[in-house]
Amino acid sequence: MSGLLDLINSPMGKQIISGVAGQTNQSESKTADVLSMAMPILMGAMNRNASTPEGAQGLMNALSSKHDGSILDNLGGLFSGGVDKAVMDDGAGILGHILGNKQPQVETALSSKSGLDAGSISQILKVAAPILLGFLGKQSRQQNVSSPDALSGLLGGLMGGGGSANQQQSLIESLLDSDGDGSYLDDLAGMVLNSGGQKKGGLGGLLGGLFGK
């Protein structure tokens, strides 16, 4: 599986979309829209965090232990009867770590873009975060990732592949950080809210184009 959006569009991705939709009592189409926008944002935030030696080592430790990809091996069990509270709490912790105090802006922006209420967005992200880390964990095992440099290459490849991955990350950050303060998540809400409600416009179209959708 060569990229993040390949996961979303795969049979496994369809199962994830269906399960998350059931968890939040939302339609599969809207859930798919949210995940297609949210997953690259979360991956971009992880990539930014992993740009420091400490961040990269912390992510490697998580991928080699708790988030080793096993969550993907029993998605039926994960979603059967509702996602376990421990998984949701884990997702909340992941979001707090990678998004920090920008999490409300991200949730508000995704809510505005998708038409779902912020509470549903929050629930979707809490389920998506452990799944995303599980996906990274499985990919890191398959590709024998054992160093921070290799991890950076893995993240870049999943975000877009090839030598253009760093340029894509840089472009995303520069576009989303329109006020130049170094935090691209600051400007996420503004970009989405100014997209005029066009499904293919604004952030969704931007990220879709950058990640090959």
Predicted TM-score of the model (pTM): 0.75
Higher pLDDT, 175 or 40: 40
- Category of 162 on φ-ψ map: left (φ > 0), alpha (ψ -120 to 50) or beta: left
Closest CA to 127 of 11, 22, 7: 22
In this predicted structure, what is the pLDDT of residue 160?
61
Domain ranges in the chain? 4-210
Whether the pLDDT of residue 24 is over 80: the answer is yes
For the chain, report the end-to-end CA distance as a whole number of angstroms.
15
Coil/strand/helix, residue 189: helix
CA angle 162, 167, 171 (to 5 degrees): 135
User: How far apart are alpha carbons 28 and 45 in whole angstroms?
Assistant: 25
d(CA 156, CA 183) in angstroms, rounded, equals 19
Predicted pLDDT at 150: 80
**Does position 138 have pLDDT exceeding 70, yes or no?**
yes
Report the alpha-carbon angle 115-26-85, nearest 5. 115
Q: 10: which DSSP letter?
A: S
Cα distances (Å, whole numbers) of residue 107 to 79, 98, 190: 22, 14, 12
State residue 41's pLDDT score: 82
What percent of the chain is modeled with pLDDT above 90? 23
The mean pLDDT value for 116-122 works out to 93
Mean pLDDT for the chain overall: 75
163 CB burial (10 A radius; 0-12, 13-18, 19+): exposed
- Summarize pLDDT for 152-206 with one digit per residue, the tens: 778 877 766 444 444 444 444 543 444 455 554 544 444 444 444 443 333 344 3
Better-predicted residue by pLDDT, 40 or 22: 22
pLDDT tens for residues 53-97?
A: 888 888 888 888 888 888 988 888 999 888 999 999 999 999 998
